[in-house]
Amino acid sequence: MKLTLADWIVVALYLLFTLLLGLYFRRRSSQSTADYFVSGRRAAWWLIGTSMVATTFGADTPLVVTGYVYTNGIAGNWLWWSMLPSGMMTVFLFARLWVRAGLLTDVEFAEIRYAGKPAAFLRGFRALYLGLLVNCVILGWVTKAMTTIASVVLGVDDRTALLICVFFLIPFTGIYVALGGLWGVLWTDLFQFVLKMGVVIAVAWYGVRAAGGMRALLTKLAALRAAAGPNSSNITSFFPDFSRGFSSESLWTIPVITFCVYLGVQWWASWYPGSEPGGGGYVAQRILSARNERDGLLSVLWFNFAHYALRSWPWILAALAVVVLYPQLAHPESGYVLLAVDHLPRAARGLLVAGFLAAFMSTIATHLNWGSSYLVSDFYRRFVRRSAPERHYVAVSRWVTILLIVLAAFVSWELATIRAGWEVLLEVGAGTGSVYLLRWYWWRINAWSEIAAMITALAVTLAFRGVVPFQGSEPSVFAKQTLLTTLVTTAVWVVVTLLTPPEPRDTLLRFYRRVRPDTFGWRPIAKFASDVVPQQDLARNLLDWIAGCTMIYSALFGVGKLCLLRWRPGILLLVVSFVCAAFIYRGLSRASQA
């Protein structure tokens, strides 16, 4: 794609604006690690929630969604759609608890919930595990996606594109992250989200128009299905083809067993950034930056609505256009970039490049800040140098950012595909999620429960890398491996919990007084804390959770039906979504008045 001088000016203005935001927030973020990592706990819900959405809207996301639709139809998106119940649990069952905990990072949780050397080991281990291993995998696959984009847009080979990302784009992002801290990240994310949404909507619009319009696109997709023969399913179906049996394979759908594992197991069993059971990662970091419990809850509610109902369809419609316009692609993930380059007006190419940069930099910015928070606050400050001025730790954070940039480049070069990175994280985290849910609501969970879950999940995943015990398509094998990993990991951590002693009563009492979880799972401890007003809101919160899931799934599928010109079911689903929203609003209003 040839860029004009005007295009380069647009790109330069975008980069200059992000740099100026970092400079503007430099003084505000440099006072302490709390200012640098959690914005001094003064951020508003709408800013926090939008930042979460921008973070999960990486350069990789439109590409990988295109790959799912191209090979598995719209139903292939259940890999991430299935994580909604976990996100809504964070809204109604955990957001308030995170704010009450008042931590700097979610890893710090280990030493307020548990005691002694196991708690210290868990905190240090998770800091390195998440800050280095997991975080660098994420940085690597996002860089992998941007490498694909840069190679197509600039017409260079993959190695040159990677060098551009590593030696210019990531360091530039690191500069404004290091300068502005989380304040700079939050406000640049807001700007970047608006830019990215405008670009992806434009790509979807022009892509569908290039295919002849929506009706013509649907007709051509039906013709492709007819030509593919009986071993194909309806690519526009939101659900797998149940008529084909539990584990049968066919084109443009996922096996029913995969769907069942996604929706029945994955959301509560697997740790995944942005959808961690019980919150965690950068979602917890954002919640911890909120002004109060209400802002913490509303930030995650807005995030989940925007993440699923607002953003899905521009990507999916573009992917359907790619199926028609670019059949037989060897690398379906590249189809999105081809669509954008070939069919957007020439005058919009500068905005297109700026949009891709925004998608890349918003995710990189969060993960550089989030990863360095673990390595500095939970490892360096906790175990290496405990008593130093706050400015020392801020300076160390900036050096750690450089380290993460180098590691991200290496991981990106080693990853085969973007999807491979997503699935590695889901497999490594399989089975650990139930511990992260129950540790808030059941007093009996101890540090060894978490340690056993993490080590077992990692060991089983590594074993599967050496020996693949299952046959079938990639989604089917992934689902079976996830299910087996979850069963083994859950069995191990439950046995370890019951065979090891509970945490000391004093530690549990301090945690109970500080966080005030529902008394249902804390009765043996609550009886020693008569000074704490009992919290008995679990049933109400679970009702809100069900209503929240129904609201967002109804909005997601309602908008989808309208996009696919199915007016009646689309309008009906949107009405259901509105009714659920009214129910949630009424419940939250009553809770705030109580």
- DSSP secondary structure string, 277-327? TT--HHHHHHHHTBSSHHHHHHHHHHHHIIIIIITHHHHHHHHHHHHHHST
Range scoring the smallest mean pLDDT among 21-30, 230-239, 454-463, 491-500: 21-30
Spatial distance between the Cα atoms of 242 and 260, rounded to a whole number of angstroms:
11
DSSP string, 119-130: HHHHHHHHHHII
Angle at CA of residue 359, ends 358 and 361, nearest 5°:
60
pLDDT at 414: 66
Q: Indicate whether 420 pLDDT > 60.
A: no
pLDDT at 346: 83
Spatial distance between the Cα atoms of 325 and 335, rounded to a whole number of angstroms:
9
State pLDDT tens for residues 197-227: 999 999 999 999 999 999 999 999 999 998 8
Report yes or no: 3 and 349 within 8 Å, Cβ to Cβ: yes
Spatial distance between the Cα atoms of 460 and 430, rounded to a whole number of angstroms:
10
Spatial distance between the Cα atoms of 219 and 574, rounded to a whole number of angstroms:
26
Mean pLDDT of 78-99: 94
Backbone φ and ψ of 246, nearest 5°: -70, -40
Looking at the chain, the whole-number percentage of residues with pLDDT higher than 90 is 45
Spatial distance between the Cα atoms of 51 and 314, rounded to a whole number of angstroms:
19
Q: Indicate whether 469 pLDDT > 80.
A: no
Report yes or no: 497 and 446 within 8 Å, Cβ to Cβ: yes
Mean pLDDT of 415-419: 55
Q: How many CB atoms lie within 10 A of CB 246?
A: 11
Q: Indicate whether 172 pLDDT > 80.
A: yes
Residues in the chain: 594
pLDDT at 295: 94
| CA 39 to chain CA centroid, nearest Å | 21
| CA 344 to chain CA centroid, nearest Å | 28
**Helix, coil or strand: residue 430:** strand
Helix (H) or strand (E) holding 533: none
Range scoring the smallest mean pLDDT among 6-15, 211-220, 274-283, 540-549: 274-283
Spatial distance between the Cα atoms of 588 and 592, rounded to a whole number of angstroms:
6
Contacts for 205 with CB less than 8 Å, ≥ 6 apart: none
What rounded mean pLDDT belongs to the chain? 87
Checking 416-420 for CB contacts under 8 A at 24+ apart, the result is 417/67, 417/144, 417/333, 418/60, 418/63, 418/64, 418/67, 418/141, 418/144, 418/145, 418/148, 418/333, 419/64, 419/67, 419/68, 419/333, 420/141
Q: Which carries the bigger pLDDT value, residue 191 or residue 251?
A: 191
Using pLDDT thresholds of 50, 70 and 90, give the confidence band for residue 24: confident
Report yes or no: 379 and 108 within 8 Å, Cβ to Cβ: no
Report yes or no: 91 and 294 within 8 Å, Cβ to Cβ: no
State pLDDT tens for residues 319-339: 999 999 999 888 888 899 899
What residues are paired with 290 via a beta bridge?
43
The candidate with the shortest Cα–Cα distance to 450, out of 568, 579, 278, is 278
State pLDDT tens for residues 531-581: 998 888 999 999 999 999 999 999 999 999 999 999 999 999 999 999 999
Spatial distance between the Cα atoms of 175 and 409, rounded to a whole number of angstroms:
17
Report yes or no: 27 and 382 within 8 Å, Cβ to Cβ: no
Using pLDDT thresholds of 50, 70 and 90, give the confidence band for residue 427: low
Q: Indicate whether 473 pLDDT > 80.
A: no
Q: Which carries the bigger pLDDT value, residue 411 or residue 509?
A: 509
Q: What 8-state DSSP symbol labels residue 265?
A: I
Query: How many Cα atoms occupy the beta-carbon half-sphere of 394 within 13 Å?
Result: 22
Using pLDDT thresholds of 50, 70 and 90, give the confidence band for residue 285: confident
Q: Indicate whether 274 pLDDT > 80.
A: no
pLDDT at 131: 85
Spatial distance between the Cα atoms of 439 and 512, rounded to a whole number of angstroms:
12
Report yes or no: 481 and 427 within 8 Å, Cβ to Cβ: yes
pLDDT at 271: 76
Report yes or no: 474 and 61 within 8 Å, Cβ to Cβ: no
